[in-house]
Structure 1
């Protein structure tokens, strides 16, 4: 899967994150909403969270440091991190 393009907004990023979580972690599409909590609602454990960081870095081109990874608790926060991390002129 290619990284999101420069013109893609938060909704497109949410769709990409949702697709990747379904594909890589076996989640159901209707489970993945902006408000869904990664641990409590989606049942992600620490290994799943590591996989999420890998997904963000490898498939969406979004770096995630340890501090950022600790702050990501909902799907909406993951989407916001992807959108906010992109600098002007960087591939999306």
Structure 2
């Protein structure tokens, strides 16, 4: 599972409190990620994992867990 790496990327990209980032944390409600943050995070994830995240998948990211599950499938 890539949770720890995703957590690290979120902290580096949007500078939120690391302790708030849990598998169940909601990106918008709990972490305060807005659309610009989401784009920056998407680009950082794509670069880090050498993948492409399509817009539909990006819209489906509600929790940190959604990102981790997507990454795990994409790099499997």
Higher helix share: 2
Q: For 1:11-60, what per-residue CA distance to the aligned partner results, in whole angstroms no more than 9, with x for missing partners?
A: xx111111111112111111110100000110000000001110110112
Mapped partners of 2:23, 2:51: distance in 1:
18
Paired residue for 2:11? 22
RMSD between aligned alpha carbons?
1.0
Unmatched segments (≥5 aa) in structure 2: none
Q: TM-score, normalised by structure 2?
A: 0.92
Higher Cα Rg, which structure: 1
Mapped partners of 2:6, 2:49: distance in 1:
8
Equivalent pairs counted in the alignment come to 76
2:43 to 18, 39, 54: 54
Mapped partners of 2:27, 2:50: distance in 1:
20
Aligned-residue offset at 1:62 = 2.6
